[in-house]
Amino acid sequence: MKISYVISYEPTKFSAVGQGNWKEIGKIMAGFGYEGIELAIKNPFNIDVAELKSYFNRLHLELVAIGTGQVYFDGGCSLISPEIEKRKKAFNFLEEYIKLASVFDAKVIIGLIRGRLSDHTSKYKALILWGKNFLKISKTAKRAGVELIIEPINRYETDYFNTVRETADFIESNNLNNTGILFDTFHSNIEECSFEGSLKYASNLIKHVHIADSNRNFPGSGHIDFKKIFQVLFKNKYSGYFSGEMRPIPDLITSIKNYITYMNKFKINENLVHLEMHNK
């Protein structure tokens, strides 16, 4: 069970993420025993790759995944924007995110950068743009050996790929073998009929997990049954990261510390499930 936490590289309006001096935050995370950091990056052209690489090596941390949602959340650009310049910008940024990810063997998240179908007057045109642009960027990712992960997001933030099932059906019907699903417990609590049912339906496609409770705070502060979720994931042999993506309450360092303490309790369960399976 590998643990990471989402930190924003630049300041952002998005509130369910760690913000501050990411270098200092990373050192503190390594000290608490984190294996990785997920970086949400607003502008991939701003990154000093060599510096970032030596920073992660020094701390023995993995750059797990790159979040791209701020391109839409803060900048209004998406793969289906009705404005061609904004569409191009989202596409060029994704190409750069992919280059960066290939250096770190990180995954690239396709979440809010999808945009909303309702940004268009015609849903049909929006879907055509999605299909065209996503398949194009998926080929770029494949050439670079990078895995894309589509994140089902709740209906209040976007209006397509709200559920695991529709995301899995899209991936499978297009034979996208370098594309998986990012399962976010906060969004899934709003959209899924059952956590177990969705996780079973897409068992071989779940490649990354975001953890927050029903109120998007620290796990244990809402009503999500994490034990059930983890049990299904362990049984499905999920081997990816569990990235904390939550409102940093009461403050970021306390949240980072509480999150890994909470998750470490489940490491024991994970071993038990593996042992049970081994003995069958």
220: CB partners within 8 A, 6+ apart: 213, 226, 262
95 an active-site residue?
A: no
Tell me how far, at minimum, the Cβ of 33 lies from ligand LER, in Å: 23
**Contact string 97-116 vs ligand LER (x = CB under 6 A):** --------------xx----
Q: Give the number of residues in contact with ligand LER, rule: CB under 6 A.
A: 10
Does 245 engage in binding with ligand LER (CB under 6 A)? yes
Q: Give the number of residues in contact with Mn ion, rule: CB under 5 A.
A: 3
* Beta strand pairing call for 62-67 and 2-8: unpaired
Marked catalytic residue, from 38, 191, 192, 245: 245
Given a contact cutoff of 8 angstroms between Cβ atoms, the answer to whether 65 and 94 are in contact is no
Report how far residue 170's alpha carbon sits from residue 167's, in angstroms, rounded to the nearest whole number.
5
Tell me how far, at minimum, the Cβ of 153 lies from ligand LER, in Å: 5
Residue 169, amino acid: D
Q: Which is nearer to Mn ion, 47 or 109 (by Cβ)?
A: 109
245 an active-site residue?
A: yes
115 conformational bin, left if phi > 0, alpha if psi -120 to 50, beta if neither: left
Report how far residue 204's alpha carbon sits from residue 256's, in angstroms, rounded to the nearest whole number.
29
Does 69 engage in binding with ligand LER (CB under 6 A)? yes
Tell me how far, at minimum, the Cβ of 115 lies from ligand LER, in Å: 12
The full length of the chain comes to: 280
Tell me how far, at minimum, the Cβ of 188 lies from ligand LER, in Å: 10
Given a contact cutoff of 8 angstroms between Cβ atoms, the answer to whether 162 and 130 are in contact is no
Residue 10, amino acid: E
**Contact string 190-229 vs ligand LER (x = CB under 6 A):** --------------------x-------------------
